[in-house]
Structure 1
Amino acid sequence: MGDPGVNLLYRWPTAAKFGSRVPKEKFYSHGTVSTAVREKFIAEVLRITWAYKLAESTINLAGSEAVPEIQVFEIDAKSNDVSDQVLTAIDKAIPFPLIFEVNRGQGDTKSIRMVASHKQLGTGAPKLSAYYSTSWQPAHTARQPLPAAITLPTLYTAILDPLTPVATRPGEDMSDVVARLETVRKLEREISALERKLRTEPQLNRKIELRRALKTKQSELAVLVEK
């Protein structure tokens, strides 16, 4: 997940409305989907709707090989949420960057979270980062206009930017952001391991070494996630 403190839903352009229901069987009957993931589809997913198609033909922004179009998928959850394994299976089956809106509840209790992975298209299977999400928000939350952008790749980066723990820097493309996100996750794992060792280390001199190492890693992380 990303920064769970973010409250944000976008107002998708009317011209980009697609509104086509996609049978979930299309995804979990795919040969590469494991039995466990298929069971998650059945248990967690009520409905999948291909809601919006952001493309040159719909919003007049030029695409690229990396971001030819951006698709927005709405997923209605059967109960509390939809797991990342389900999102991954859908992401891998669709050859475009995807933004998900997951819906749960009904009527006044209905809430939505927006979630996405930084997706890199290439010659093989698409490369996905971890999934980053907003917090759950009431369905009636006021939606924000899309970020200003002159191409689909810049729009894609700007849509995802508030969700991720790192800010996109001037001149960076998606692969740079993904590489930095991977470094962040690696540092977070190393910091957790050092914190565990520090709690159980009985020797004072070793504790001092561990604290020093921990402080260094925390400083490296702070530089990477500075917005």
Structure 2
Amino acid sequence: MTEPVLYRWPVNAAFGRSVPKTKFYEHGNVRTALREKFVDDIQRIAWAYKLADDTIRLRGTTTVPEIQVFTIETKGADVSDEVLAAIDKTVHFPIIFEVASIERVRMAAARKSLDGKTPRIATYFTTEWQAADAPRRPLPTALDLPSLYEALLASLLPVATRVGETVSEATERLDRARKLQREIVTLEKKLRTEPQLNRKIELRRQLKERETAFAELTDTAPSTRG
């Protein structure tokens, strides 16, 4: 795991606008169950900071024109990724979320692509829960908003990026690792209940194969092969 982090967002970037929950589900095809999650799980949504050229003097691009920071105050223990995604899809800018309960906070985000009419959202990553008054660090050093966005996302990954690896590549690698992890769990269950010896041998072979692949995907400094 990478070290949990909270950032000290620049004062000049403070936006501080409360956004009604209905704004994120009154338009479009949002299931009733998801609407209920907004009502039951969220106390307040705040558009807290706007990281842009006119607030922090970093140039944006068409892929990352601005970065928004949203604070989600919970009613209960947490807010699901499904709810975060519903918010993400309605805002045509990359978003970094801070999910806050009474005494703790976590930072979460998914890589967002803006090259279509509807933003494409990748897998969500998050820090561990931290005390609400935990120390905060300055923003990562960056030359422009895309590089700042990469650095912010990289700090959320459960493992460090490899040398020369982009956050997008690391996310794809970790998605493959998650899929393998699910397959490993399934194979372990089958192995425990399989009565036939020849079938057990085949399951063990498949399990070892996937465990090896999983270890390679989660190794931050993989060995090179000639």
TM-score (norm 1): 0.88
Q: Please say if 1:187 is aligned against 2:180.
A: yes
Contact 2:154 2:167 in 1 (8 A): no
Q: Deviations over 1:39-71 (max 9, x none)?
A: 111111111110111112211222222211111
Q: Deviations over 1:95-138 (max 9, x none)?
A: 11111111112xxxx11111111222221322212221111111
Where structure 2 has 5 or more consecutive residues not aligned to the other structure, the ranges are 221-226
Where structure 1 has 5 or more consecutive residues not aligned to the other structure, the ranges are none
Distance 1:222 1:144 in 2: 31
TM alignment of 1:4-43, pairs within 5 A = 6-43=3-40
Quote the residue 2:95 is aligned against: 98
CA root-mean-square deviation: 1.9
Quote the residue 2:212 is aligned against: 219
Quote the residue 1:57 is aligned against: 54
Q: Offset at 1:187?
A: 1.5
Letter in 1 for 2:211: Q
Distance 2:174 2:114 in 1: 17
Q: Offset at 1:167?
A: 3.7
Q: Offset at 1:175?
A: 4.0
Distance 2:10 2:213 in 1: 39
TM-score (norm 2): 0.89
Q: Offset at 1:169?
A: 4.0
Contact 1:167 1:226 in 2 (8 A): no
Contact 1:63 1:152 in 2 (8 A): yes
Distance 1:116 1:175 in 2: 13
Q: Percent of counterpart pairs with the same letter? A: 55
Compared CA separation, residues 12 and 221, structure 1 to 2 (3 A): same
Of 198-207 and 77-86, deviating more is: 198-207
* Count of aligned pairs: 220
Q: What SS does the aligned partner of 1:91 have?
A: helix
Letter in 1 for 2:44: R
